[in-house]
């Protein structure tokens, strides 16, 4: 291949000699993806720590070891980090970056330097978020913990009244939102422009479909929350009045604006995760996926309908009953395409050859947990039921089943699936499977009791609770302990895999999609040696073996 800009320096600018600077300035999509993973993972543990703090505090009624105000800051910190720093960038930023271009046979994303910029914008957002943790008191030179105590939803007027660092948190969320928009923009253009010749939309792997649908949400929903945060800041500093009831402002309007983004955001989290599921199920059933078109189009319709249902978070907010009815009605329409996906996945297993490797275990486990999460979502989409369950632990259980049991579990599935691709090595499968079982048991023990507690009337964001609810909190507590142990074990196994894992070749799973047809593993700088011509479906198997094969110049040889 001829020399290109990319060979000389794959950095945003300059020709740095040191490896460190080469990483910091890199525009290579794979490296950027890995850096996202490292940063997210670090924050993620901060949020886990906050979660554990809450579980310890809630072990018994009354105050244990932190006070109410700190508790409120803890769940805000937990929610903000989990949502804005971890799960929203999450799968798109990590796997969207690392594997999406590989899957479509591209050399990089459309705007590599924008990608670099976006990553650093994300870092700036993280730093601003961190800076909102503390107040520096000049008088006595002390750092005071003063993180926002509003909950991740920042509802006005509370967020405008509290004297914690809400402003910095809002700015951080805004910057992170910008990063998310730019990621989506970059991916949209990449998917439209850089697909290998011959690969039309219905020859793309389903993960790419997931990323594509997600990118539209990132692009078109995030600006709404951006402007909402700006309006909140203007309200706070200039008193424009629109959220201030004493000037005629309506606090419910804030909730509309917030959820116009934040509801689509939950599909932004789950769609790429579903994409991972759609990759893993056929690969480990050793057969072609059932209903490719319906899965692809259901991603698009979940994204589309998902824009129109935000009001199900406002069923008890004082919103009009007419609007409640419309929103409830529309909400159910999201469940239908999701159901179609689930049935398609199960049908894919029919008459296949099910290899229960670690990624497949995670995928099947997630089918169970996300089905519970999704079906409980359907429960609270019933208005009458939600009037009772809104803002109780039932909701908390619902969304942890969906986000942790759906998105994060599939993230883990993806980590185990693409681990050999990224590192060229394999982790210890026995241990990884053990970690799965520990996590799966811990998870259900941690969250299932909350459905019951919620039904019995345990409100969320409660520092203290009536003694009737103690038993549920205690079961949860032990679940959390098991869960976090499993988590540590899993990461230990993975890190051992990076350090000491056995080399495993380029396609250890016998998978079909293009990212498994690289010349080497870890993948070289400019990905495939040559761009292949794609006139085949993404999951073609024959008698359990991938149909499509390439030689070292990416010429078909089957």
Partner 1 sequence: MLEGFGSRAATFTADIDHALWINLVLSVVLFLSVIAPMLYFAWKYRESNVKDENIENIIHHTGLEITWTLIPTLMLAVFFWYGYTTMRTLRTMPDAASSITVAVQGKKWSWDYTYAANANGFVHKTNDLFVPVDQNVILEMRAPLNDVIHSFFVPAFRMKEDVVPGRLTKQWFNSTVIGNYDVECAEYCGTRHSYMLSKIHVIDRATYDAWFNSDAKAPAGFEVKMSKGQEVFEGNGCNGCHSVTTDAILVGPSLMGIGEKKDAQYIKDSIVTPDKVIAPGFSAGVMAPFTLSDEDMKALIGYLKDGK
Partner 2 sequence: MAHDSHEYIPEIAVDRNGNEHVVQGWQGDNYGGKLGFWLFMLTEVMMFGAMFMVLTYYFTLHHADFIKASSELDRTLGGINTVVLLISALTMGLGLLKMRSGDVKGAKLMIWATMLLAVIFLGVKALEWTNDYKEGIFLGLQGLQSGNEFSKPFGEILFFGMYFTMTGLHGFHIIIGIGLMLWLLKRINSGKVTPEHNILHFNIALYWDLVHLIWVFVFPYFYMTGAGAIHG
Partner 3 sequence: MANHTTVDYKKERGNYYKVLFGLLALTALTFIQPSMFLTHYTFGMQMLIGTLKAWIILMYYMHLKGEVLIGWTVVFAVFLVLFFFVIVMIDVNNFQFADVSHITSPAQ
List residues binding ligand HEA (CB under 6 A): 37, 40-41, 44, 48, 51, 54-55, 75-76, 78-79, 82-83, 86-87, 94, 151-153, 266, 269-270, 312-313, 331, 334-336, 338-339, 342, 371, 374-375, 377-378, 380-381, 386, 390-391, 395-396, 398-400, 402-404, 406-408, 415, 460-462, 480, 483-484, 487
Q: Spell out the residues 6+ positions from residue 366 whose beta carbon is closer than 8 angstroms to its own.
A: 277, 405, 406, 409, 410, 413
Q: Which of residues 209-238 bind partner 2 (CB under 8 A)?
A: 219-224, 226-228, 230-231, 234, 238
**Binding characters for partner 3, 315-354, by CB under 8 A (x = yes):** ---xxxxxx--xx---------------------------
Q: Spell out the residues 6+ positions from residue 429 whose beta carbon is closer than 8 angstroms to its own.
A: 357, 358
Query: CA torsion angle for 375, 380, 385, 386 (degrees, to 10)?
Result: 170
Residue from 140, 200, 318, 552 in contact with partner 1 (CB under 8 A): 318
Q: Which of residues 253-312 bind partner 1 (CB under 8 A)?
A: 285-292, 294
Residue with tokens 């005629």: 248
Q: Under the criterion CB under 8 A, does residue 123 sit at the interface with partner 3?
A: no
Give the gyration radius of the chain's Cα atoms: 24
Residue with tokens 């039309």: 200
Q: Which helix (H) or strand (E) holds 541?
A: strand 541-542
User: Which lies closer to ligand HEA via its Cβ, residue 33 or residue 282?
Assistant: 33
User: Which lies closer to partner 1 via its Cβ, residue 250 or residue 526?
Assistant: 250
| Cα–Cα distance measured from residue 426 to residue 429, given in angstroms and rounded to the nearest whole number | 8
* The one segment of 129-137, 186-194, 213-221, 326-334 that binds partner 1 by CB under 8 A: 326-334
* The one segment of 164-172, 246-254, 367-375, 480-488 that binds partner 3 by CB under 8 A: 246-254
Residue from 29, 31, 324, 517 in contact with partner 1 (CB under 8 A): 324
To ligand HEA, the closest distance from the beta carbon of 381 in angstroms equals 3
Query: CA torsion angle for 97, 99, 100, 103 (degrees, to 10)?
Result: 160
DSSP 3-state of 179: helix
To partner 3, the closest distance from the beta carbon of 186 in angstroms equals 15
- CB-CB contact of 55 with 146 (8 Å): no
Q: Which of residues 239-268 bind partner 2 (CB under 8 A)?
A: 239-242, 244, 246-250, 253, 257, 260
Residue with tokens 């993180």: 147
Q: Under the criterion CB under 5 A, does residue 263 sit at the interface with Cu ion?
A: yes
Kindly report the backbone phi and psi dihedral angles of residue 468, in degrees, each rounded to the nearest multiple of 5, phi listed first. Answer: -55, -25
Through-space distance between the first and last CA atoms of the chain, rounded to whole angstroms: 25
- CB-CB contact of 460 with 393 (8 Å): yes
Instruction: Give which of partner 2, partner 3, partner 1, none residue 322 binds (C-beta under 5 to 8 Å, depending on kind).
Output: partner 3
- CB-CB contact of 449 with 475 (8 Å): yes
Output the CA–CA distances (angstroms, integers) from residue 311 to 194, 244, 249, 369, in the order listed.
37, 21, 19, 25
User: Which lies closer to partner 2 via its Cβ, residue 244 or residue 391?
Assistant: 244
| DSSP bridge partners of 546 | 541
Instruction: Give which of partner 3, partner 1, ligand HEA, none residue 372 binds (C-beta under 5 to 8 Å, depending on kind).
Output: partner 1
User: Which lies closer to partner 2 via its Cβ, residue 398 or residue 528?
Assistant: 528
| Beta strands per DSSP E along 180-316 | none
Residue 28: alpha-carbon gap to chain centroid: 22
- DSSP for 502-525, please give it: EE--S-TT---SGGG--SSSS--T
Residue from 9, 135, 379, 507 in contact with partner 1 (CB under 8 A): 379
Instruction: Give which of ligand HEA, partner 2, Cu ion, none residue 207 binds (C-beta under 5 to 8 Å, depending on kind).
Output: none
Q: Under the criterion CB under 8 A, does residue 466 sit at the interface with partner 1?
A: yes
* The one segment of 1-9, 203-211, 460-468, 472-480 that binds partner 1 by CB under 8 A: 460-468
Of 199, 358, 206, 211, nearest to 290 (Cα)?
206
Q: Which helix (H) or strand (E) holds 21?
A: helix 19-24
Interface positions with partner 2 (CB under 8 A): 1-5, 8, 106-114, 181, 185-186, 188-190, 192-194, 196-198, 219-224, 226-228, 230-231, 234, 238-242, 244, 246-250, 253, 257, 260, 530-533, 535, 554-556
Q: Where on the chain is the footprint of partner 3 (CB under 8 A)?
A: 192, 220, 224, 245, 248-250, 256, 260, 307-308, 311, 318-323, 326-327
Residues that bind Cu ion (CB under 5 A): 263
């Amino acid at each position: 291949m001829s020399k290109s800009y990319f060979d000389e320096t794959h950095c945003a600018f300059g020709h740095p000699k040191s490896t460190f600077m080469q990483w910091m300035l890199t525009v290579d999509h794979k490296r950027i993806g890995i850096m996202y993973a490292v940063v997210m993972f670090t924050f993620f543990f901060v949020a886990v720590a906050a979660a554990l703090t809450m579980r310890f505090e809630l072990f018994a009624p009354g105050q244990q070891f932190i006070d109410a105000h700190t508790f409120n800051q803890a769940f805000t910190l937990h929610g903000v980090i989990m949502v804005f720093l971890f799960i929203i960038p999450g799968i798109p930023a990590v796997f969207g970056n690392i594997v999406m271009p590989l899957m479509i046979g591209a050399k990089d994303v459309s705007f590599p330097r924008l990608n670099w910029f976006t990553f650093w914008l994300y870092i700036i957002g993280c730093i601003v978020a961190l800076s909102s943790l503390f107040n520096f008191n000049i008088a006595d030179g002390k750092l005071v913990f003063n993180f926002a105590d509003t909950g991740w939803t920042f509802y006005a007027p509370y967020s405008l009244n509290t004297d914690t660092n809400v402003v910095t948190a809002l700015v951080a969320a805004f910057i992170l939102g910008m990063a998310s928009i730019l990621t989506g923009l970059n991916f949209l253009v990449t998917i439209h422009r850089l697909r290998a010749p011959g690969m039309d939309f219905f020859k793309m792997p389903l993960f790419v479909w997931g990323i594509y649908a997600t990118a539209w949400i990132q692009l078109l929903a995030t600006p709404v929350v951006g402007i909402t945060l700006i309006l909140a800041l203007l309200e706070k500093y200039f008193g424009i009045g629109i959220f201030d009831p004493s000037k005629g402002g309506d606090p419910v309007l804030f909730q509309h604006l917030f959820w116009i983004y934040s509801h689509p955001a939950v599909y932004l989290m789950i769609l790429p995760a579903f994409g991972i599921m759609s990759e893993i199920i056929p690969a480990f059933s050793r057969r072609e996926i059932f209903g490719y078109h319906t899965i692809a189009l259901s991603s698009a319709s979940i994204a589309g309908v998902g824009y129109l249902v935000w009001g199900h978070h406002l069923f008890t907010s004082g919103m009009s009953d007419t609007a409640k009815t419309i929103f409830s009605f529309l909400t159910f329409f999201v469940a239908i395409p999701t159901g179609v996906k689930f049935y398609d996945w199960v049908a894919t297993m029919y008459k296949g050859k099910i290899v229960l490797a670690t990624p497949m275990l995670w995928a099947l486990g997630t089918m169970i947990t996300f089905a519970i999460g999704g079906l409980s979502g359907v429960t609270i989409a019933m208005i009458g039921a939600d009037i009772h369950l809104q803002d109780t632990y039932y909701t908390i259980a619902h969304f942890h089943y969906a986000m942790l049991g759906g998105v994060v579990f599939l993230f883990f599935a993806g980590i185990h699936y693409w681990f050999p691709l990224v590192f060229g090595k394999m982790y210890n499968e026995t241990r990884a499977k053990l970690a799965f079982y520990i996590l799966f048991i811990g998870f259900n023990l941690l969250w299932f009791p909350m459905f019951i507690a919620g039904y019995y009337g345990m409100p969320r964001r409660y520092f203290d609770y009536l003694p009737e609810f103690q038993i549920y909190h205690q079961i949860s507590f032990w679940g959390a302990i098991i869960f976090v142990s499993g988590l540590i074990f899993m990461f230990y196994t993975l890190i051992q895999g990076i350090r000491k894992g056995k080399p495993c070749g380029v396609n250890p799973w016998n998978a079909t999609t293009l990212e498994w047809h690289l010349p080497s593993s870890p993948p070289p700088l400019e990905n495939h040696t040559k761009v292949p011509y794609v006139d085949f479906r993404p999951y073609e198997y024959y008698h359990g073996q991938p149909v499509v094969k390439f030689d070292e110049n990416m010429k078909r040889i089957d």
